[in-house]
Structure formats: structure tokens, C-alpha cells
A and B are shown apart, each in its own frame.
Chain A
Amino acid sequence: MVERGVRKSIWIGAMVIALVGALAAIVLIRAHDLLPPASWLQAFGPPVVEPRALLFRESFLPRVAIGLIAGAGLGLAGTIFQQVLRNPLAEPATLGVSAGAQLALAVTLLWFPALYGTAQGWVALAGAAAAFSVVLWIAGSLGFSAVGMVVAGLMVSLICGSLCALLIVLSHDYLSVLFLWQSGALAQNGWASAKWLLAQILPLALLSGLLARPLEVLGLQDDGARSLGVSVRTTRIALLAVAVAICACVTSAVGVIGFVGLAAPNLTRALGARKLPQRLVWAPFLGACLLTLADQTAQGLAFIPLQIPTGALTGLLGAPLLIWLVFRTRPHAALPRAAAESPARLDEPATLRMMMRGSLVLVAVFVLALGLGRIPGGWHFASWSEFELLSPWRAPRAFAAMACGVMLSVAGALMQRMTGNPMASPELLGISSGATLAVILAMLLMPGFDPAWAFPAAGAGAAVTLVGLLGIAARSSFSPERLLLVGAALATLMTAVSSIALASGDPRTSLLIAWMSGSTYGVTATQAGLACATAVLVLLLAPLCVRWLDILPLGASSAQAVGVNIGNARLVLLLLTAAATAAATLIVGPLSFVGLMAPHMARMLGLQRPLPQLFGAAILGALVMVLADWLGRTMLSPWQLPAGMIATLIGAPYFLWLMRRRSR
């Protein structure tokens, strides 16, 4: 026992020394390349004119400084989030903070450009705080449960992200800077940012230190914390507010930096820091090292004819590390389960009536989507003869949207049943991320990329991801927590690579933006037909898995007790989910919203048994997607807005409202 402890501390020491050593080495080498060491001190003599000295003093050094400060802030904020929400997946983005800040900046840039240059930081802070307030407002009605808060945060993120993407579609050139900001760029040309950030983070860090004890208690279950006399509600809100403020400051200073806030706390735990005060010191330290190391490395890659944003590189480096972590650590004390807020279950006739009504609404909306269009003079319902001319544009899109809505909803319902996690969605499984990744790589690496290659590339990406997931799943006996973590890592990877593509300034990436936001633009009749056929197949196969879906959420032991082979059941469910997701991703991009929402909505309407939930989700998903596609085509005609974006804007607020109303 003692021997193991000693070995472990040696190993930890070696890791930390290696990290710090690598950081010091790369900083010194780069400083040396820039300016001979003899001139380092001279560079501080007041008026600097010599270009290299100027660069050293006003760009290189502030950049190192801001990397250290921002990294430490992210590490600290991540630790707080993971502790308070008891979720190892929690990161600064989980509560909508980054997305809120980004939206505020986009709006400011478009309508109040003068503010953007002068009060950028405060604008981001205001946006982050507003997003966080919405999350609190929703979570408040759910008694601030960790699950409720994470789901609400995710929804707010989706809404802000969609609004921001909408602005970008309408003003691409204008907002290109947002891509830079979105992918975390640390370039500095003076000390102002670093000083500002330090002045904000330092008091916040001290405050979180004071709150360390209540924070540790929160690691226990709510009941345990309450019996120790800690006001769970107040402490949780205070801590989250501190963490959100830190994130907002970091985000406004250097943009969105993924992974550091996720990795530093996890790494700290993996390295053996168990006590919270320890982690509050080590996670910021590791965060600072990680971010600065990544930033210096990104700059060292200057020979690549692409500017690699630092935030993208942290994502690239981080994803494999995260996957490794998933296998090294035991799954964190149970991911939150969502059983608490459940409305009354409908009886069989009521279920049937609801299905009938749903189908009728779907048919009506579909006819509307095909017939009603917008011409320069106003709204116009097409006559039959006109429709013949218009149907090549409208019909494939409407059918494809419907099919994708069905497939994503079924995939989402299966995943949520299988894992018992309300955050599960096709995107979190990583299949859509894998498909997108392949398309972006093909776009970046193939000279003279022909958009016709997007389809085969996406298919290959989805297949590779699926095989990888099956391998991982088999090794960890299909543990849902691990699959979700791997999916999150893949999503990070996808975001990183797409950031690089988007920041490259290549106009072709606009296609990528449209696809990634879920556009059905350009879907051909053949593609729509294939999508519909796949959707029908998925709908036929899914009911065969109903028994498993009833049993699996009860837990592994109960399932074995009634004679279900858990490995096989999960394998089949996984295959079905992956196939549905891949097919939908090929058409509408990595759209996760419908897959996340439709099953929830079905359950909230009282469709709780697996089969009604599956079909209810399919109808709701199809409804939302067809409506979204139609709105996207007509709302700002002739501008074509991606259906996925609209679906998020329709469904997420509705979902938030439902969440709040149902909980009363």
C-alpha cells in the first residue's frame, strides 16, 4: 500500500516536472529565436523602436502572460463546475456562458460597433450573465437539480449558438472575426488585455478559495449536504456565479477555449489530487501550463499555411487525452439520471388518440410546406400547375427534412433509453461528429475539393466512428457513461478541426457552415428518397427492441435477472442508433437538436412507455424539421436559412418553457 503510494507520487512528480519543463523549454526557445537573451532586459527600456524588441515586449510576453492567466482561470472554473454539478462532462460551455458571450459580441458588432472596440469584455460579460440567468430561472423551478441545470444550460447554448449562426449566415464577411474569437486566439499587441484579465480573475479566485469548504460538501449527495447544515441552493448559486464570471472574463479576453476547463480538473483528479483544496490549486496550475504550452506550440507550427487558432489546438490535443482518461478513471459517481420530473403516463386509448392527432398535424404541415411559398409580392399558395414547376425545389427538401427528423428522433429516444441519461443525443454519441470531421478533412486536405465528395466522406467518417465506438464499447462492456465521454471527446475534435477550417478564411467553408447548421439546401430527389427509405426501415426495426428499452434503464443486474443479454442488446441498439444518425447526418449535417428534444417532448406529453415514446418522438421530430425547413426557405426569402438552425430556435425555447411548466 505504502509502496504504491510512493510510486504514485513519483509518477505524479515526473508528470508535473515534464509538463513544466516542456513549457519552460518552448517559451525560452521561442524567446531566444525572437531576441538574443542579452537584449531581453534592454527591451524594457522605455521607447522601444527596434522591431524585434517591440515584438518581444508587446506581443510575445503579454501572450505568454495571458495564456497562463486564462488557462488558470479555465482550470479553476472547470473544477468548480464539475464539483457543483457532479458531472465530469461539465465545462465552461455547459452552462451557456460561452455561447451567451459570443451572441452578445455578435449583436454588438452588428448594431453597436463602437462598443465592440471599447467595451468588448463587458459586453461578453453581460451576455454570459444573461445566458446564465436564464439557466438559473429554469433550473430554479427544478430545485436547482444538477441534471436540470445542465440540460437547461445546454438548451440556452443551443439557442445562442443558433442565433449567432443566423447572424453569420446573413453577414458572413462582416462577422468573420467571430470565427477567430470562437476558436480562441491569444494574439496580443500590448499588455492591456493581460492586465485586465488578471485584475478580474484574481479576486474571483480568492473568493472561490473562501468557498472551498462548502464546495467540498457539495460533492456528497444533496441529502448529505443538507444534513451537514449547508444551504445547498445558495452555495451552489454563489459558486456557479463565481465560475461563470471567470469564464466570461476569459472568454471576452481570448475567445472560446475548449477543453482546458474540461481537462485540467480531470487530469488533476487522475494524477491523484482527491481533496478539493488540492484540486483548486493544481487544476489552475495545470490549466495555465496546458494552455500556454498549446499556444506556444500552435505558433511554432507557422510553416503550415493555415493559422491554427490556439483554442482549436487545445481541442485537437485534448480529445485523445480525454479518451485516455475515460479508460483510466472509473466512471464518475453515476451520471445524473432523469426520473424526477415525469408527468402522468397516458393510458392506451389516450396514447392512440394523441398519435392520431400528431399524424394529422404532421400531414397538414407537410401540405403547407409544399404549397405555401413566398414570392416578391407576398405569400402565395401554389396552384397545381405552378406546383409542377416548384416541386423540384420544395419536395426533396420537405421529404428529406421529414426523414431526418424521424431518424434523429428515433436515435435520440434509443440513446436516452439505453443510457438513462437525459443529455444523450446522436451528437453526443460522436457519430455525427465523426462524419463531419471526415468532410472537413477532405475539404482541407484534398486539392480542388469537389463538393460531390462530401457524401462519401461523411459516410466513411460515420462508419469509422461507429467501428471505433463498437470497439470501445466492447472493452468497457458498453458502459453508457464512457460512451458519452468518448462522444464528447469526438465532438471536441470536430469543433477543433472545423474552427481551423473556418478561421482559414476560405470561402468554401461557407458551405461547411451551411451544412453544419443543418441545411437541406441542395438535397436531390434521389437523396431524399434514400433518406425516406432509411427512415422507414429504422421505424420498422426500432419496435423490435422495445423489451430491452423497458428493462435496460432498470440497471445491469435487474436486466440480467430477467435473462437479457446486456452486451447483445446494447450492440443492436447501438448499431440501429448509429445507422439512423449517420443517414441523417449525411443529409442535414451534425444536427443534434431534434434528437435531443423530440424524445423529451414525447415523454412530457405523457408518452412514457418505450414504443409510444419512439413513435411520438418520430412524429414530433418530423413535424419540427418540416416546419423548420419551410420557415428557413420562406421567412427571409430569398435568403435560405438552414433548417437545423430554425429547428433549434423553435424547439429549444419550447422545451425550456415545457421544462419549467411541467415541474410545477
Chain B
Amino acid sequence: MGDAAAGAGDDPAPIIARRPATVEWAAAETIVAIGGFPVATASPYRGQKGVTDAFPTVPEVGSLFSPDPESLQAVQPDLIFCAQWQQNLVPMLSRIAPVHIFDLRSPSDKVLDNTFRLVGDVGRLLGRQAEAQAYRQDAEARFDELKERLRPASGQPVLLGALAADGRHISVFGRGSLFDSVLGRLGLGNAWTGPMNAWGNMTQGVEVLTNYPDTPFLYLDAGPPTIAARQALGASSLWNALPSVQRGRAKAIPFAWLYGGLPTGLRFGASLAAALAPEERRDRG
């Protein structure tokens, strides 16, 4: 399981891909991060923010789950990056070009390490080893910097989630998610220790927040659904009575894609620091 670089064709001699295509966004943002340019990526959903911001001009070939083979074929890729959970697409994709399957969730408790590994793999397959190495070192330095900035909050548990638009449910992110992994890297704790699905998230009623009266609750700002949820929660006697809400410790942070790669991890880390560090500095002063 360890080495996920199981391509469709076994390539003993390293072939350098000049026209890499992706059918999701973690590989796409990784390619862009090391100076490459993917010839295709998946289309974002209506209203979904932030996933293709870094590469707005890359041609889109349809949804994550059913990319259009005709559009993909038309851009003539020479290598297609495909996530392990999209494996059912492999028979179709491998008729178009060799496929590289990557798995950010294996091992599942080291998602951030896996995103570093993906940077290395992409660098090797695109002949950009030096850029990949530089990006990894840069990322480590950024994380160290953020960790230093968060030192006053070190070890503090944080609750991470997203608000469902009905104002009655939240998704919480726990072990096995990229976000949890970033929390650990920055020396913070995850307050959620309850059950998780295989993807490190779980839907709960808003009332679970009563179990975390003093824990900072950071939720992803997904745009309109979050606005709708906040409106509904404004009328909720339970939400308004929560100590964390009253003390302003329930805050929105910029949206990040849960299944993203290292660039997403870095952005999410910066959002965490921005949300938690000023507050701590004020507390000190």
C-alpha cells in the first residue's frame, strides 16, 4: 500500500509529462504550485469557492465524479493524475493517457505528510524535481513560522467545522482529515474526538457545541450557505447562549477544500493562525 505511485503503465525509464491533466484539484494545485500547468482539471460546483482560484485558466472537463472523456481526449494529455477515490474512472482514463493514481488518505493519520509526498511525485513525473524540493522546503518553513506564531495557543484544542445551511447542523472535521493533520503540525489540538467517517468528517446537530463551551469553534466560510446558516442561528436561543459564541470564539475562516493538497494545507494553516493568534496576543497584553 505504501507507495501509491501505481501508474497504469509501468514506466522503468522516467518519462517526463509535458501535458499533465487532472480530474480533481489536489493534483492540479500541486502542479501549479511547482510552476507547471495542467491541461485539464475538474469543474468546480456551482457556488463552490476557492478550489480553482490558483488556476482559473485551466480548461475544465466536468465534475469530479464523471469528467467528460471527450473533453479530456480533446486536450491530448500525456499523463492523467487521478485520486484513489476516483479509481472507478481508471478504465476510462487509461484509454486516453497513462494514469497516475495518488492517495492522500493512506496512511490516514498522516494526510499532510501525504500531500508533501504528492509534491515530490508530481515533481518527478513532470521533471521538476528541483522546484518540488524547493516548494517542500518553503512549505516546511512556512508551517514552522505559523507554529511559532501560534505558540501562545500551543496545545489548545480547537473545534473545526462547517455550518449546514439549515442552521441546525454542522459538519465537524476530525482525525483522518487534512485539517486535523494541519492542526497537529501547528501544535494545536483537535477538540473533536468523536466518531468520524472514512473522510474525517461527521455531521452533527448544532447542539453538540454545548459540549465545548470554551473551545474556539472555527467554521469554513462557504459563502451563501454559511450566510443562510448564520441567519438561522441568529434566532437560535441555544446558539446565542453558547459561551464560545458569546465570547466571540465562534468565527468564520476562509473556505478550504477538505480533499486538497499541500497548497490548501498551507492556506488553511495561515487562516488558523489569523483566526487564533490575534486573540491570544490580546489575551497576553
Write the residues of chain A forming the contact surface with B, with a CB cutoff of 8 angstroms.
Answer: 47-49, 51-52, 54-55, 58-59, 109-110, 113-114, 116-118, 120, 169-174, 176-177, 180-181, 185, 187-192, 303-307, 373, 375-376, 389-390, 392-393, 450-452, 503-508, 510-511, 514, 519, 521-522, 524, 633, 637-640
Question: Is A109 within 8 A of B165, CB to CB?
Answer: yes
- Across the interface, name the chain B residue whose C-beta is closest to A394: B70
* Interchain CB contact (< 8 A) of B65 among A191, A375, A514: A514
- Please, which residues of chain A bring their CB within 8 A of the CB of B169? 177, 180, 185, 187
B270 CB to closest chain A CB, in angstroms? 22
Ranked 10 nearest A-B pairs via Cβ: A117-B231, A187-B205, A113-B224, A638-B62, A638-B68, A305-B195, A189-B238, A451-B88, A58-B238, A59-B207
- Please, which residues of chain B bring their CB within 8 A of the CB of A49? 241, 243
- Please, which residues of chain B bring their CB within 8 A of the CB of A176? 164
A343 CB to closest chain B CB, in angstroms? 40
- Across the interface, name the chain A residue whose C-beta is closest to B46: A171
Question: Is A507 within 8 A of B228, CB to CB?
Answer: no
Question: Is A511 within 8 A of B88, CB to CB?
Answer: yes
- 9 sample A-B contacts, Cβ–Cβ < 8 Å, listed by A number: A49-B243, A59-B238, A109-B165, A113-B224, A176-B164, A189-B238, A306-B197, A389-B73, A638-B67
- Please, which residues of chain B bring their CB within 8 A of the CB of A120? 166, 232
Q: State the CA gap A385–B202 with chains docked (Å).
A: 50
Q: State the CA gap A187–B169 with chains docked (Å).
A: 8
Beyond A58-B237, A376-B59, 16 additional pairs, beta carbon < 8 A: A55-B210, A58-B241, A59-B238, A171-B45, A177-B169, A180-B164, A181-B166, A187-B207, A189-B239, A393-B69, A450-B87, A504-B197, A504-B203, A505-B199, A508-B85, A514-B65
Q: State the CA gap A155–B171 with chains docked (Å).
A: 34
B102 CB to closest chain A CB, in angstroms? 16
A251 CB to closest chain B CB, in angstroms? 13
- Please, which residues of chain A bring their CB within 8 A of the CB of B195? 303-305
- Please, which residues of chain A bring their CB within 8 A of the CB of B73? 389-390, 393
Q: State the CA gap A190–B201 with chains docked (Å).
A: 25
Write the residues of chain B forming the contact surface with A, with a CB cutoff of 8 angstroms.
Answer: 43, 45-48, 59-71, 73-74, 85, 87-89, 91-92, 95, 164-169, 171, 195-199, 201-207, 210-211, 213, 222, 224-225, 227-233, 235-239, 241-243, 259
Question: Is A640 within 8 A of B74, CB to CB?
Answer: no
* Interchain CB contact (< 8 A) of B201 among A54, A117, A505, A514: A505
- Please, which residues of chain B bring their CB within 8 A of the CB of A303? 195
Question: Is B91 within 8 A of A524, CB to CB?
Answer: yes
Q: A114-B228, A174-B46, A177-B164 are in contact. Are A451 and B68 (CB under 8 A)?
A: no
- Please, which residues of chain B bring their CB within 8 A of the CB of A172? 45, 63
Q: State the CA gap A99–B69 with chains docked (Å).
A: 33
Q: State the CA gap A117–B232 with chains docked (Å).
A: 5
Question: Is B65 within 8 A of A510, CB to CB?
Answer: yes
- Please, which residues of chain B bring their CB within 8 A of the CB of A192? 235-237
- Please, which residues of chain A bring their CB within 8 A of the CB of B207? 55, 58-59, 187-189
Q: State the CA gap A117–B231 with chains docked (Å).
A: 5
- Please, which residues of chain A bring their CB within 8 A of the CB of B165? 109, 113, 116-117, 177
Question: Is A639 within 8 A of B210, CB to CB?
Answer: no
- Across the interface, name the chain A residue whose C-beta is closest to B207: A59
Q: State the CA gap A147–B284 with chains docked (Å).
A: 73
Q: A177-B164, A187-B168, A375-B70 are in contact. Are A59 and B205 (CB under 8 A)?
A: yes
Question: Is A174 within 8 A of B48, CB to CB?
Answer: yes
- Of the listed residues B60, B196, B241, the one surrounded by the most CB atoms of chain A closer than 10 A to its CB is B241
Q: State the CA gap A177–B66 with chains docked (Å).
A: 22
- Please, which residues of chain B bring their CB within 8 A of the CB of A185? 166, 168-169, 205
Question: Is A505 within 8 A of B197, CB to CB?
Answer: yes
Q: State the CA gap A117–B224 with chains docked (Å).
A: 10
Question: Is B238 within 8 A of A376, CB to CB?
Answer: no
Q: A109-B224, A180-B169, A451-B88 are in contact. Are A510 and B213 (CB under 8 A)?
A: no
- Across the interface, name the chain A residue whose C-beta is closest to B62: A638
- Across the interface, name the chain A residue whose C-beta is closest to B163: A177
A151 CB to closest chain B CB, in angstroms? 32
B166 CB to closest chain A CB, in angstroms? 5
* Interchain CB contact (< 8 A) of A118 among B64, B89, B231: B231
